[in-house]
Structure 1
């Protein structure tokens, strides 16, 4: 049986919108509407931006900026840690396999500061 999307009514700046969404997405849609409504009200209260369209654009830009900041924070040190762990795992696998050719090839590659030998004082989690 195919479920049809339900029509959800949300209010943003006292204006009602009917939005189609899947049943399992309705809580996220409501939370998104509350977030947007709150941001738009904050911007309207400053009195520096006039007009619903402009307020909506400013709110969208602020939310997009917040999202980009969160994405950068996630890809920063954690992304580096994941890459370093992958390198270490490859080294361990080569050592356990006794693969001398790969180990010699690895040793002949110029090491970058990130690939230098392990120093426990520099490791962070």
Structure 2
């Protein structure tokens, strides 16, 4: 994979594609292409998929499935953190009611 002044040149399934990307996006584009190629090689090694189109669609579906699972996990964690924060607030409020109040006298 090479870099081109107009974008980033990546090779996927023996074809080169030039992807428009700013300087800060180039590394991410190259890393994405590397990840895609590795996933394609893994699926191809399995030997059950014939044809590049089918191979690309199956890898895309697998990657999107991973993304959706990660999002779901992140949302679940976020919701758990919100519940814990609310519980902490209630516990703190309850503990304040148990603290002795200063007596004037």
**TM-score normalised over the length of structure 2:** 0.72
Q: How does 1:35-74 map to 2 (within 5 A)?
A: 35-74=35-74
**TM-score normalised over the length of structure 1:** 0.61
1:32 is matched with 32
Unpaired segments ≥5 residues, structure 2: 97-105
Residues in 2 aligned to 1:36 and 1:54: alpha-carbon distance in whole angstroms: 14
Residues in 1 aligned to 2:70 and 2:43: alpha-carbon distance in whole angstroms: 21
- SS of the residue corresponding to residue 76 of structure 1 reads helix
1:23 is matched with 23
Give the deviation of 1:78 after TM superposition: 3.6
Count of matched residue positions in the alignment of Structure 1 and Structure 2: 91
CA RMSD of aligned residues (A): 2.4
| Cα 1:87/1:30, change in 2 over 3 Å | same
Residues in 2 aligned to 1:7 and 1:31: alpha-carbon distance in whole angstroms: 14
| Cα 1:80/1:45, change in 2 over 3 Å | same
1:109 is matched with none
1:13 is matched with 13
